């Protein structure tokens, strides 16, 4: 009887072992160690300054096709990793890189911070027929751009045709950031007095609000407008621009909006803000931190001089793993911005765009 009982026990143990074959161990289950990150593509010679994900595509801003040919906007298909469009939103000889993109119902707005002077011994000025609207102090004016200097501008791209539908030039503002809200298009810009924050109706081009502010970085999330301002982060009402909270964060390099937190990078830290309480709830050491992006799967950030992408566990507020992206072009040896798609991070790494699989 004892032998028979022992055989039954051994058989039961064997069946349990067989039934667990192929199941993930606790180390591979959700909430534990993630699948290691890996580089799956390198898109070279696009010289990106900014990368965004919008309308199902990756958009590289301030891209270059080659050493001499400027193409400020490059559109990439994330399914094939191929460039599917190159768009120059410049206005005649007003050229240079776009800096940020806002996905608006009217299209995709690109900031063009590059200045342009009237024609002189060093070259021609802008082509007036290419300029649809000119502003000064937020008011539309008639201007002869052969006699006026331009401080900056915006361009509206139709993602259905990859064509520029509209161009706006400012004689006194140099836009640095733009976001779309239900109230309109918010623009942060530098001016002769320091900076402004302006709200524009994107359909009519009428400015409904202009107020003094630093020309910082703008993001939207949690029913608010978020704006960097030197060593502080401001939370603002997205309709009026009124400040509702201020955070002493240190110099902000990038902002990321996650499902339950606002994430900031400074030169040495990743900072987490709880928008429900308006409190800084975590500071994570990351030397040379720069870009940051967050979604429901987690948080990733870059360390720009070590050329690394790090993944942060939002449950523990600590770095879980990292990947070395390699030293980029010596002429542009920094690793900066990030955009997220379903399972990948797209990272600006010098002159190339690196795609990193996150799962």
Adjacent-strand bridge partners of 180: 185
∠ Cα 116 105 209 (to 5°): 60
Question: Do residues 244 and 266 share a domain?
Answer: no
DSSP β-ladder status, 308-313 and 298-303: antiparallel
The length of the chain in residues reads 359
Judge if 292 and 243 occupy the same domain.
no
Do the domain assignments include residue 12?
no
pLDDT for residue 2: 35
Find the CATH number of the domain harbouring 295: 2.130.10.10
Distance CA 184, CA 207 (A): 9
C-beta atoms surrounding 313 within 10 Å: 16
**Does one domain contain both 101 and 239?**
yes
Judgement on whether residues 177 and 307 belong to the same structural domain of the protein: no
Task: Please check whether residues 104 and 241 belong to one and the same domain.
Answer: yes
Q: What b-and-e string marks burial along 294-303, b requiring 16 or more CB atoms within 10 Å of the CB?
A: beebbbbbbb
Q: Is residue 95 part of a domain?
A: yes
Q: Is residue 135 part of a domain?
A: yes
The strand ranges marked E within 307-351 are: 308-313, 318-324, 335-340, 344-349
Instruction: Answer for the pair 227, 221: CB distance below 8 angstroms, yes or no.
Output: no
Residues 148, 231 within the same domain: yes
CATH of the domain at 199: 2.40.128.630
Specify the number of domains making up the chain: 2
Q: Which residues contact 105 (CB under 8 A, 6 or more apart)?
A: 180, 202
Domain final residue, candidates 249, 264, 299: 249
Q: Residue 3: which residues within 8 A CB-CB, separation 6 or more?
A: none
Determine, yes or no, domain membership for 294: yes
Look at residue 340 and tell me if it is in a domain. yes
**In contact, 358 and 311? CB cutoff 8 Å:** yes
| Gap between the terminal Cα atoms of the chain | 52
Q: How far apart are CA 321 and CA 356, in angstroms?
A: 13
pLDDT at 130: 54
Structural domain includes residue 69: no
User: Taking the alpha carbons of 52, 57, 58, 61 in that order, is the dihedral positive or negative?
Assistant: negative
Q: How far apart are CA 73 and CA 109, in angstroms?
A: 11
Residue 268 sits in the same domain as residue 301:
yes
Residue 69's pLDDT is 54
Are the CB atoms for 193 and 204 separated by under 8 Å?
no
Question: How many Å apart are CA 109 and CA 156, to the nearest integer?
Answer: 5
Closest C-alpha among 219, 214, 224, 226 to residue 189: 214
Domain boundary (206, 222, 249) is at 249
Residues 6+ apart with CB under 8 A from 357: 37, 38, 39, 40, 343, 344
In a domain, 7, yes or no: no
Q: What confidence score (pLDDT) does residue 59 get?
A: 96
93 lies in the same domain as 147: yes
Instruction: Collapse the DSSP code of 331 into the 3-class scheme (helix H, G, I; strand E, B; otherwise coil) and give the result.
Output: coil
Question: What's the rounded Cα separation, in Å, for the pair 19 and 16?
Answer: 5
Is residue 62 one of the residues assigned to a domain?
Answer: no
Angstrom distance (rounded) from CA 119 to CA 93? 10
User: 243 and 261 in one domain?
Assistant: no
Tell me the pTM: 0.85
Cβ contact 110:73 at 8 Å:
yes
Domain final residue, candidates 202, 222, 249: 249
Same domain, 258 and 242: no
Report residues of the chain scoring pLDDT below 50.
Answer: 1-31, 92-93
State which residues form the domain around 158. Answer: 89-249
Do both 307 and 185 map to the same domain?
no
User: Are 114 and 236 in a shared domain?
Assistant: yes
């Amino acid at each position: 009887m004892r032998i028979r009982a022992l055989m039954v026990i051994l058989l039961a143990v064997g069946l349990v072992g067989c039934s667990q074959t192929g199941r993930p161990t606790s180390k591979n289950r959700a909430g534990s160690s993630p699948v290691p990150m890996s580089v799956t593509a390198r898109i070279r010679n696009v010289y990106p300054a900014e990368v965004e994900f919008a309308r199902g595509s990756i958009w590289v801003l301030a891209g270059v096709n080659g050493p001499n040919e400027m193409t400020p906007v490059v559109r990439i298909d994330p399914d094939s990793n191929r460039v599917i469009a190159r768009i120059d939103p410049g206005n005649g000889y007003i050229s240079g890189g776009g800096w940020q993109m806002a996905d608006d119902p009217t299209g995709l707005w690109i900031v063009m911070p590059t200045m342009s002077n009237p024609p002189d011994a060093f070259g021609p000025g802008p082509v007036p027929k290419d300029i649809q609207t000119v502003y000064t102090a937020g008011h539309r004016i008639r201007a002869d751009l052969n006699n006026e200097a331009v401080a900056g501008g915006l361009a509206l791209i139709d993602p259905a045709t990859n064509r520029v539908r509209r161009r706006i030039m400012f004689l006194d503002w140099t836009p640095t950031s733009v976001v779309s809200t239900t109230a309109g298009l918010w623009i942060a810009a530098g001016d002769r007095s320091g900076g402004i924050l302006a709200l524009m109706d994107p359909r009519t081009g009428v400015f409904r609000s202009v107020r003094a502010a630093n020309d910082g970085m703008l993001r939207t999330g949690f029913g608010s407008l978020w704006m960097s301002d030197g060593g502080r982060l401001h939370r603002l009402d997205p309709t009026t621009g009124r400040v509702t909270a201020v955070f002493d964060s240190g110099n902000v390099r990038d902002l990321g909006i996650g499902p339950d937190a606002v994430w900031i990078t400074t030169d040495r830290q990743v900072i987490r803000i709880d928008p429900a309480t308006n409190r800084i709830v975590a500071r994570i050491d990351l030397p040379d931190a720069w870009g940051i992006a967050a979604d429901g799967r987690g948080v990733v950030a870059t360390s720009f001089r070590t050329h690394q992408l790090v993944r942060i566990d939002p449950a523990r507020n600590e770095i879980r793993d990292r990947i070395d992206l390699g030293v980029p072009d010596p002429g542009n040896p920094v690793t900066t911005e990030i955009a997220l798609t379903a399972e990948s991070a797209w990272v600006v790494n010098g002159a190339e765009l690196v795609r990193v699989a996150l799962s």
